[in-house]
A and B are shown apart, each in its own frame.
Chain A
Amino acid sequence: MSAPLTLEKNNLKLGFVALLDCAPLVVAREKGFFKRHGLDVVLCKESSWASIRDKVSFGLYDGAHMLAPMPLASTLGLNGNKTPMMTALALSQNGTAITLSEEFHTLLSKTIDNWEDDKLVGEQFKKQVKSSSVKPVMATVYPYSNHYYQLRYWLEQHGIDAEHDVQLIAVPPTQMIPSLSNGAIDGYCVGEPWNSLALIQKIGGLLTTGHKIWGAHTEKVLGVTQEWAAAYPNTHQALVKALYEACQWVEDINNKEELYQLLALPPYLDQAATTLSDYTPPLAMKQHFAGKQVNVPDPKQGEFILSQMLDCGQLSDADNPADFAIISRTVYRQDLFQKWVS
């Protein structure tokens, strides 16, 4: 047991978006993991990723639950203020999926007898899209997200043109389910709980999952600015340790019932969490919070995300793929993770 750290700062504010994968932050607070590491943390719920980015960039928050691409996008100054950010801890792995409206799913089910057979699903989706005069409207939440890249990746993988064969739009998460049920959109790619909730309410069917599209990948990270990390190294270390322990707790199946009770508290997922606890979606989402490689901020993941940004035309000509490895190493700090928790 090493000597306790002298923390530069004890009182922290962290931002989060009310998704299933904010669980490590909630658990670290409610089960006392932050306290054990000398931290007093206030969790602040945000309605948009844009707001998370801005409040961390401008120091209103010490750090936040972030989409894996966010620290990279912010460091590069894509669509916002250019603020170098970093992560020393991945909070979750996988957990996204593409859901289709009940109507679209039923239509495709006429020719798809096995939704696990991705090749068949892709062929039939393409056939439907090419033969119809109306383009299906597919929604995502935020452009610098795995959801957005995965949707495009899946479409292009099956020879469906993301620009011309479908119409891509953006919709806030809370409006996804109403939009799917009133026919404003035909499908979406988002994180949990929004896929399971559509399935529970029987207004949608699963097309595929993020894990099936990409294999195992980092979904959410603890993001801080590089400036903050330099100013508060011991506090950062304590924060990473506390959240890492919380991740192990969340992953433990024996804690499942208590986890959903905690998430259902009003400041967190509120009522959305109550229907989820006993539900298992038909296609495995393989969402994990701990386990082999789950919490490592791997620069290879960062490089992969940068290549997705490039494919979607989000990077400028000045961004050179030869620099991806260097950029990724300054943002995905595997070295700190290994020093602090391994």
Chain B
Amino acid sequence: MNRLNVLLIDDEPERVQALKEALHSLGHHVVCQLPNTTHLNKRVEDTHPDIVIIDMDSPNRDTLESMSTMSKNNPRPIVFFAEQQNDRKTMSDAINAGVSAYISDGLQPDRVKAIMDTAIAHFDAHSSLRAELEKAKTQLADRKVIEKAKGMLMKHQGCDEKQAFETLRKLAMDRGQKLPDVAQSVIDVLELTNGLSK
């Protein structure tokens, strides 16, 4: 009765695994889905999730939001959780942790709250873990390239270190390349266009 169907859409394997286990132990049924699929629409229809948890930065968020409005034949399967929750604190924590969620219309708010709190805690923990891991994993030469690219981006963009790293990470995802390769091409482009701006 209390068991909810949770669909996790995320491309960070460690985070997915940890969050899946945590939600399992709360007694929920969890289905995982990698975001790089063109069949997300069908997947959501098939799994009938009570709640969808998705990386805030995933382009699939717009797809999920479209599903609830696009076709009148589609019974609104999910809504952005803020629509019902009216809980700005949880929303704000979620956005800062980089997690967003969609829930089926009419689900009781208190049941969602526990799941959201768990997801927020795991996303928060993961971002500090990821920074550590990134440091440990990257070879020294690679790290130098990444640091240099980060430095150049910070100077060019006037942004902080976290944001520069985010930019590199997004570029790597967009291009399907490894981080050091993207870092090198950022250095090349910015050096080439040095003096172009300003």
Contacts and interface: CB of A to CB of B under 8 A. Distances in A.
Interface of A: 30-32, 40-51, 54-55, 58, 60, 77, 79-81, 140-143, 148, 163, 168-175, 178-179, 182, 184, 258, 261-262, 264-267, 270-271, 312-314
B83 A80 contact: yes
A200 B196 CA distance: 27
B18 interface: no
A142 B82 contact: no
Interface of B: 38, 41, 56-63, 65-73, 79-80, 82-83, 88, 91-92, 95-96, 100, 153, 156-159, 163, 167, 170-171, 174-175, 185-186, 189-190, 193, 196-198
A45 B167 contact: yes
A41 B65 CA distance: 30
Contact of B65 (A40, A43, A143, A264): A143
A55 B82 CA distance: 13
Contacts of B66: 140-143, 148, 169-170
Contacts of B167: 45, 266-267
A44 B91 CA distance: 20
B196 A169 contact: no
B95 to A, nearest CB: 5
Nearest to A140: B66
A48 B62 contact: yes
Contact of A171 (B38, B68, B72, B158): B38
A313 B73 CA distance: 12
Name the residue among B69, B71, B92, B163 with the largest chain A CB count within 10 angstroms.
B69
Contact of A50 (B65, B69, B170): B65
Given A54-B100, A142-B62, 16 more contacts: A41-B158, A42-B157, A42-B159, A45-B167, A46-B57, A47-B57, A48-B60, A51-B61, A54-B56, A58-B88, A80-B82, A143-B66, A163-B73, A170-B66, A265-B190, A267-B167
Nearest to B189: A266
Given A77-B83, A142-B66, A178-B38, A40 B158 contact: yes
B58 A47 contact: yes
Contacts of A261: 193, 196
B95 A58 contact: yes
